[in-house]
Structures are given as C-alpha cells and as structure tokens.
Amino acid sequence: MRCIQLTGSDDRMDCRDMLDDPINLLPAKCPKCGFPDLDHVPQPYFLIKSRTMSPNELAKAENGNFFVRERVRQVLELLAPSQCSFFSTCYKGTTEETPWLLAVPNHQVITAKVDPSIPRCDTCGEPRSAHPGSQFSEWLFYPQASGGAGPGWTGQSEYEILKSSTWGSSEIAWDQWISRDLFMSVRLLHLLKKIKAKGFYEATCGKPASADKAESVWIREKIQTLEQHGISLHPTGTLSEEDAKWFQSYLKSHSRDVNSEDDIKSVEKRLKFKLPKSYLDFVTKVGPASFENIDAQEGFTVRILALGDLDLEGYRTGELDSDDEETNAVNGVMFADTEHGDCFCFDVQKSKKEFQVFLYKHEYNCFEPYAENFAACIKRFASGGIG
Ligand SMILES: [Zn+2]
C-alpha cells in the first residue's frame, strides 16, 4: 500500500527548547565511538508537562517514534495490530503518568545508503555523520519522490506504520542531532483525519496525497469497524458530526430575538476560560429556556440560565469538599438549575473547546457525568421531555 512520510509540530514533548536536546537519553551501544542504541526505549519515558496540554492526539517523538492519546491507541491496535509497541509516559521528574503513550513502530525500513567516503567507526561500522541532503548517496525508499510537485514522498509497504532504520544527522557528526523518519499508509492518515485525530500531516513540498478509490473504500469500512467497537469518531472536547448537525437544526427552529445585554467577554474574563461555542450559540440565539420532564421523569424541569446568572464560584475545584474523588476533580461552572436543588455544570478545562456536562446531585453532594458536551446535553433535555 502507499505510504507517506509524516511530520508534526517541532515543539516536541520529549525535547527541551530545541529538537536536538532530548530529555530521555539513549545508552551508548558502541564502546569505541559511543554511538547510541537507537532501538532502546528509556523507562520511565519523560515528557515536558506544558507541552502535553495540546488538544492534539498525535505527535512526533525522538527516533522515528511518536505519541498518541488513548483513543488513537485503540484505533491503531484495531486497524494495525502489533505494528506498534506502546509505553506509558511520565511528567518529567515524576512518577505521574501523562495522558500520552509512546508508540514505537515494530517495523523498520532502510531508506538510504550513506556516502561511502564518510569515515566510519572501525568497531561498530556507523558513519561519523549522515546528512540526508548531502551525505546520502542513494535513496532506497522513495518510489515517487517528486521534487516539489505531485504526490510527494510516496512509498510502498505492507505495513500501515513503519520507521526508518537509516538515521540522519548533521553534516558534521551524529552527536549534534540524530533522527529517524516515520511513515504511515495514505489510507490510515486519511482515516485519522476523518475521525479528527490531529497532530500529523504529510511531509511534502507539493500537494498531499489524497485517498484513491480503494483507499477510500478501506477508510469507510474501517470507520464502521471503529463504530462497532465503540470507539468514538471524534475527540473528547469536541462535537460529533451528528450532535453538531442536530444542534444547528435545533437552534434554527428555536431561534428568537434574544435581547441579551450580557457581555460574553466579561463573563469569560471573570472565568478566565473561553465558553464553549455551542453554549454561546444557544444563549445568544435561544436565550434562557426551560425543559420539562427531563429523562422521562415527571416534574423534572431544567432552566438554562442567562449568561449573567451563571454560578462561576460555588462548584469550582475544591469548593464542594465531597467524599467522592471524581466529584472533587470537576471544575464546575453552573449553567442550568432545577426546582429540587440539583443543577448542571460544565467541567471547564482550558485545553478543550467543548466542556463535559455534569449533573450535581445535592442530596449526595456529588457530580455525575451527564453529557459529553453542551449540544449533547440539550439533545438529551429536548428528547427526554416527551411522554
Ligand atoms: Zn562505533
């Protein structure tokens, strides 16, 4: 199948400021020149905390490896079984696990031959340097290198994911920087795009390869497979296509002239968070609203509050002092109340566009997850009332 080379952000989670300053060091393999053991996976594997906050689900790592969040790991284990080994990662200097896994491709490909005039170590045989631009004498894995136009670096492989065993370095010496390349099938990259798993794109100076007919068929089939296995087709913190569609048509049919004097900016300033777009669309187009007989419970009425009536303080992290650990982890902002004391809160999180919705049960002083986001919450409110 067709493969392309992958690229992603240069802000690597496993490097200090610069790409050539990795924080997880490799042991030397050669006693003479000290050439590193490139296939060694340091344990624990540390990441720089501030860089782990990205809402992406894919990122490049050192040495032709990469990082995934849990949803993408599930996708890869289902669609490319045994093609990667996964390792948990920790915040630098701690034993606390991050939400990212290090993925190490299990298959490697020789991509080039190094210029024979470059001096080599007489113990391990590795060249002193191997600059991909000027010191590779022959490319072996690049069937359609296009020189800037056309489909870019397309190769053929029997694997969905693989990395180069060939390493590249600066022109001077491998100890300045050293890297390996990461490759993925065109069809898998496009499937990941379809399910909005972000962070990777094709390394090309031309137009990225689009999926051909056979690849498109595979993508459609495999998306069904993911659905059958209960894997979400969109990242948490965003709207699914279905919810977004439903919500737009709801807004359209319930839109009225909202004379909203409330200043979104002033609420966001007090909150120090951006409010989800779905919520702002609702309060500016539909305004405060009530839903009755929620979840088919007679008399269970919910009122969506006006912007100015949001409770920005009472349900925030640490305010509830609950016995339930999960409750205490919720950073709640109350946007809807009921007549019996329970209420609905967003769990506000800086790195997310859409917030998960929790139901606060006052009798138990605890939060229960209610909906994945505001649109899904309104969908649940609106459908529960009938009957
Ligand atoms: Zn050596």
23: Cα within 13 Å, side-chain hemisphere = 19
Q: Residue 28 Cα, ligand 1 centroid: separation in angstroms?
A: 9
Q: Residue 124 Cα, ligand 1 centroid: separation in angstroms?
A: 4
Q: Collapse the DSSP code of 336 into the 3-class scheme (helix H, G, I; strand E, B; otherwise coil) and give the result.
A: strand
Please give the pLDDT value at position 19. 60
Q: Residue 234 Cα, ligand 1 centroid: separation in angstroms?
A: 47
Q: Residue 31 Cα, ligand 1 centroid: separation in angstroms?
A: 7
User: Residue 359, Cα to own-chain centre: how many angstroms?
Assistant: 26
Q: Residue 91 Cα, ligand 1 centroid: separation in angstroms?
A: 33
Does the domain at 241-384 match CATH 3.40.1580.10? Answer given as yes
Instruction: For residue 54, give the nearest of 6, 13, 86, 87 by alpha carbon.
Output: 13
pLDDT in tens, 77-93: 999 999 999 999 999 99
Q: Residue 63 Cα, ligand 1 centroid: separation in angstroms?
A: 18
Instruction: For residue 101, give the nearest of 122, 128, 123, 71 by alpha carbon.
Output: 71
Q: Which residues, listed in sequence order, are joined to residue 291 by a DSSP beta bridge?
A: 302
Q: Which two tokens stand for residue 35?
A: 């050439």
Q: Residue 32 Cα, ligand 1 centroid: separation in angstroms?
A: 5
Instruction: For residue 266, give the nearest of 314, 311, 315, 307 by alpha carbon.
Output: 307
Q: Are 364 and 230 in contact (CB under 8 A)?
A: no
| Beta-carbon contacts of residue 260 (< 8 Å; ≥ 6 apart) | 283, 284, 287, 306, 307
Please give the pLDDT value at position 259. 64
Which amino acid appears at position 21 of this protein?
A: D
| Beta-carbon contacts of residue 288 (< 8 Å; ≥ 6 apart) | 303, 304, 305, 306, 309
Q: Residue 30 Cα, ligand 1 centroid: separation in angstroms?
A: 5
CA-to-CA distance for 145 and 148, rounded, in angstroms?
8
Q: What is the dihedral of CA 298, 302, 303, 309, to 10 degrees?
A: 140
CA-to-CA distance for 38 and 125, rounded, in angstroms?
15
In the chain, where does the domain assigned CATH 3.40.1580.10 lie?
241-384
Q: Which residues, listed in sequence order, are joined to residue 345 by a DSSP beta bridge?
A: 334, 358
Residue showing tokens 């605890």 = 366
Q: Residue 42 Cα, ligand 1 centroid: separation in angstroms?
A: 21
Q: Residue 26 Cα, ligand 1 centroid: separation in angstroms?
A: 15
- Per-residue pLDDT for the chain (387 aa), expressed as one digit of tens each? 889 899 888 788 999 866 668 999 999 999 999 999 999 999 999 999 878 877 789 999 999 999 999 999 999 999 999 999 999 999 999 999 999 999 999 999 999 999 999 999 999 999 999 998 899 998 888 755 344 334 445 578 899 999 999 999 999 999 999 999 999 999 999 999 999 899 998 887 777 888 999 999 999 999 999 999 999 998 887 787 788 899 999 999 998 877 665 678 888 888 888 899 999 999 888 988 999 888 878 888 999 998 889 999 999 998 998 888 888 889 999 999 998 899 999 999 877 889 999 999 999 999 988 888 999 899 889 876 543
CA-to-CA distance for 129 and 361, rounded, in angstroms?
64
Residue showing tokens 């498109």 = 216
Please give the pLDDT value at position 180. 95
* DSSP β-ladder status, 84-91 and 45-47: parallel
